[in-house]
Structure 1
Amino acid sequence: MLESIYIGMSGLTAYSKGLQTISNNVANLNTAGFKTSAPRFADLYYGQQFARSQPGAGNTMQFGSGVEYGYSSLNFMQGDLHSSSGPLDLAIQGEGFLALLDGDATRYARTGQFSVGDDGFIADKATGLRLAALTSSGGLGPISLEGKQISAPQATTVVHFSDNLSSGSTSFSIPNVDVYDANGGKHTLTITFAPDSAIIPGRWKLTVTDENNLPVQQGTLQFNGGIPEPGRDKLDLTLSSVDAPPLTVTLDFSNGVTNFSAGSTSSLRVSDKDGYATGTLSSMNVDDNGQLILQYSNGQTDTLRTIALARFSNPQQLLQMGNGLFDASHAIPPIYRASSGAGVGQLIAGATEASNVDLSTEFGQLILIQRGFQASSQVLSAANEMIMQLFQMRGQG
């Protein structure tokens, strides 16, 4: 009869641990990236006693020893994806995991909010672990912005023009044409056009002045039949700068420029030009392939390495560590791929994954565990009453 008490106590202990699991799930209802655990119970080993042999029956009797809390099974069902304002907030649509570097160890997470630390590495805001990217050898390495905070300038070499310079115009000018020297210094030019067709029809005089209205260069532009004459359709000018080498820029009217009559209205404009100033890092985002894109104030872009996503053959071997992290030291090593690779899912930037806690499921489990606990306590009460009756009978005897 004492065995019944121990069996009942095993039920109370097991269901208490099951309640702890359910409580933890419910408490993490709003924890980003949290994965629920389902309690699993197991019967304890059986003792054996010899019994009298009977025809067609064994000669042993088996007695159960109760129940134990076997393990908790992780539920990796996808949580809802919520939009966020952080460009480096990352979530995964699919089965993959983000890889985070913790010294020599690697941890894994389903979602995270990342930022650039003081050391230039991209790290998780909550844990400080560095976000891992794929290396050229297929391994993992941290993502550093060292040397990427500035976009070096590029000198302007050519300015292209398009549209119509009306043959009926008496004068025309294009102001605020910005060009840049090798050190990123900006020179703002004004290009003035005046007809000079008294001797040769279709000839225009060009005057280029700088931001101080000082003359930089003069030249001529020749049209034949309303289109620029080859060899007379470009103007080279040289600008000097205090802290940069002389800048030579070509004004190119050879393609897309016409000289047809349109009254006094001309539509001639700058169509494109190269060169840009020094740029500072203004924003970052992650594209669909998991590659980090850097955008600079001078309009230029640059790319860093591709964020690594991990695929496990058996995610149940992962261990929860807190802060949404998983330990894989006892799991089969994962395969690392870029976003949209086989089995790793799609990396989503500007989003986080919510907890996958389903309250209806948790409360259903809670009712079952509560009933199991109550039933085990009833067994204890019944066994206790029977023992008390036994003691009373022995006392009477």
Structure 2
Amino acid sequence: MFGSIYIGLSGLNAYSRGLKQVSNNVANLNSQGFKSSTVSFTDLFGARQNGGLSYSAGQGSSGHGVRMGDTVFDMSSGELRQTDRDLDLSIDGSGFLMLMRGGEVAYTRTGSFEVDKDGYIVLSGSDYRLATLDSAGRPVSLSIDQLGTNPPKATTKIVLANNLSADSTVPQLVSNIKVVDLDGGQHVWQAKFERVANSTGQWTATVTDEKGVQVGGSPKTFTIINGRIDPATSVLDFTTSGWTVSFDMAGIGSYAGGNTSTLSAASVDGYAVGTITSLSVNKDGELEIGYSNAQKKQLGAVAVADFRDPQALEQRSGGLFSDSGGAGRQLLASTDPRVGLVKSRTLEASNVDLSREFGDLILIQRGFQASSQIISVTNDMIQQLFGIRGQG
């Protein structure tokens, strides 16, 4: 009869532990990247062997209560919520972001990252550095300190387009051509096109800078035949201070248009020096720096870990996981379908299912009540047994 009390106590203990687990799940309802754990219970059976107890089922075995089952994580993805920070990262898939701190490695499903004083990308509030894959596929942490500026590139080609009026009686201008010199200095040029008097299809092109100084010496001559630029003169080179810029006019047409010019600079290459304006993860899962000169630089693919057995991971504070070596890790790039895509400006919410937790809560409560009732009834029976002595 006393065994019934111990069985009831095992129920109280198991359901108390179950309540703690449900409480932890519910309390982390709004914790980023939190993975809930499943509450389960398992029976205990014991058989007497050589005067002792062995907890194994078999002939002659009897129930010895209940215990809480092993913790099983729910690794399903939580909702991906949009944010306004480029370094808010999450994974649309089953992989984990890899974090490095000296010789220590941790993993997370999502997190807000920032650049620390040394230029490393770290998880906010910690010194865990985000890992990327180098050219050999090895995880490394990198600093952007040496990438603060993007060097300039001098303008070498200007492509002109549209119509150079064949019957215009005034010079035709293309203004506000923004170019960059060899030192990264920015200039605004103007190109002027005039028909050569008393000639057949002969034209001149003159380029001046923002100070009115003529670029490249004397005007350049080109020829128009049947409304098209003669291929032999379709590219005009203007050289100044050892710097040459080619005007490509192959796409220009020359037809009647009066004195209204539609000629324009369709494209101008080159760019000035740039400073960092953004740091994010692009659609290919690569860390990418954006500069003020509209240039971009890829720093490498974010390292994403795929685990053969995610249940072998150990859950830690702050949405982190650690691996003692039993989970079977493989590092892959973001574009690999086995791990999913790293997304910028998103954070993964907790995957706690509140309705399921409340259902488990009711079952745990009823189980606790039933176990306590067993102890109460057993106690009453023992009391009644003790009272037999005084009867008769």
Q: Please give the alpha-carbon distance, in whole angstroms, between the structure 2 residues aligned to 1:315 and 1:232.
A: 68
Where 1:223 maps in the other structure, the secondary structure is strand
Equivalence for 2:184: 184
**Contact 1:156 1:249 (8 Å CA) reproduced:** yes
Equivalence for 1:43: 43
Question: Any residues of structure 2 matched to 1:196-215 within 5 Å, and which?
Answer: 196-198=196-198, 200-215=199-214
Q: Please give the alpha-carbon distance, in whole angstroms, between the structure 2 residues aligned to 1:78 and 1:234.
A: 58
Deviation at 1:300, TM superposition (A): 1.4
RMSD (Å), alpha carbons: 2.4
Equivalence for 1:7: 7
Deviation at 1:195, TM superposition (A): 2.8
Question: Any residues of structure 2 matched to 1:164-179 within 5 Å, and which?
Answer: 164-169=163-168, 170-179=170-179
Cα distance change of structure 1 residues 50 and 332 upon mapping to structure 2, 3 Å threshold: closer
Q: Please give the alpha-carbon distance, in whole angstroms, between the structure 2 residues aligned to 1:228 and 1:189.
A: 22
Deviation at 1:230, TM superposition (A): 4.7
Deviation at 1:2, TM superposition (A): 2.7
Equivalence for 1:139: 138
Where 1:176 maps in the other structure, the secondary structure is strand
> What does the per-residue CA deviation read over 1:97-139, in whole Å, with 9 as the maximum and x for residues that have no partner?
1111132122111112222222211222243421111222322
Q: Please give the alpha-carbon distance, in whole angstroms, between the structure 2 residues aligned to 1:147 and 1:176.
A: 34
Q: Please give the alpha-carbon distance, in whole angstroms, between the structure 2 residues aligned to 1:43 and 1:137.
A: 51
Equivalence for 1:54: none
Equivalence for 1:249: 245
Among all aligned residue pairs of Structure 1 and Structure 2, give the percentage whose two residues are the same amino acid: 43
> What does the per-residue CA deviation read over 1:303-359, in whole Å, with 9 as the maximum and x for residues that have no partner?
111112211111111111021111111523311111242421232322221111111
**Contact 2:239 2:245 (8 Å CA) reproduced:** yes
Q: Please give the alpha-carbon distance, in whole angstroms, between the structure 2 residues aligned to 1:395 and 1:50.
A: 38
Q: Please give the alpha-carbon distance, in whole angstroms, between the structure 2 residues aligned to 1:290 and 1:210.
A: 43
Can you give the 5+ residue segments of structure 2 that lack an aligned partner in the other structure?
Answer: 52-57
Counterpart of 1:99, as a letter, is M
Where 1:82 maps in the other structure, the secondary structure is strand
Deviates more, 1:37-46 or 1:230-239: 230-239
Counterpart of 1:2, as a letter, is F
Cα distance change of structure 1 residues 63 and 153 upon mapping to structure 2, 3 Å threshold: same
Question: Any residues of structure 2 matched to 1:276-287 within 5 Å, and which?
Answer: 276-287=271-282
**Contact 2:45 2:61 (8 Å CA) reproduced:** no
Can you give the 5+ residue segments of structure 1 that lack an aligned partner in the other structure?
Answer: 52-58, 241-245
Question: Any residues of structure 2 matched to 1:76-91 within 5 Å, and which?
Answer: 76-91=75-90
Where 1:12 maps in the other structure, the secondary structure is helix
Equivalence for 2:308: 313
Q: Please give the alpha-carbon distance, in whole angstroms, between the structure 2 residues aligned to 1:229 and 1:288.
A: 44
Question: Any residues of structure 2 matched to 1:287-302 within 5 Å, and which?
Answer: 287-302=282-297
Q: Please give the alpha-carbon distance, in whole angstroms, between the structure 2 residues aligned to 1:283 and 1:49.
A: 71
Equivalence for 1:333: 328
**Contact 1:206 1:218 (8 Å CA) reproduced:** no
Equivalence for 2:239: 238
Where 1:323 maps in the other structure, the secondary structure is helix
- Scaled by the length of structure 2, the TM-score of the pair is 0.90
Question: Any residues of structure 2 matched to 1:22-101 within 5 Å, and which?
Answer: 22-48=22-48, 61-101=60-100
> What does the per-residue CA deviation read over 1:4-23, in whole Å, with 9 as the maximum and x for residues that have no partner?
22222221111101000001
**Contact 2:310 2:327 (8 Å CA) reproduced:** no
Equivalence for 1:223: 223
Q: Please give the alpha-carbon distance, in whole angstroms, between the structure 2 residues aligned to 1:269 and 1:227.
A: 16
Cα distance change of structure 1 residues 32 and 251 upon mapping to structure 2, 3 Å threshold: same
Deviation at 1:47, TM superposition (A): 4.6
Deviation at 1:362, TM superposition (A): 0.7
Q: Please give the alpha-carbon distance, in whole angstroms, between the structure 2 residues aligned to 1:258 and 1:77.
A: 61
Number of residue pairs the alignment of both structures matches? 383
Q: Please give the alpha-carbon distance, in whole angstroms, between the structure 1 residues aligned to 2:223 and 2:314.
A: 77
> What does the per-residue CA deviation read over 1:32-54, in whole Å, with 9 as the maximum and x for residues that have no partner?
11111112323335151789xxx
Q: Please give the alpha-carbon distance, in whole angstroms, between the structure 2 residues aligned to 1:250 and 1:103.
A: 52
Equivalence for 1:56: none
Question: Any residues of structure 2 matched to 1:268-283 within 5 Å, and which?
Answer: 268-283=263-278
Where 1:166 maps in the other structure, the secondary structure is coil
Cα distance change of structure 1 residues 182 and 224 upon mapping to structure 2, 3 Å threshold: closer
Equivalence for 2:54: none
> What does the per-residue CA deviation read over 1:59-111, in whole Å, with 9 as the maximum and x for residues that have no partner?
98534332222322111122122122122222222221111113212211111
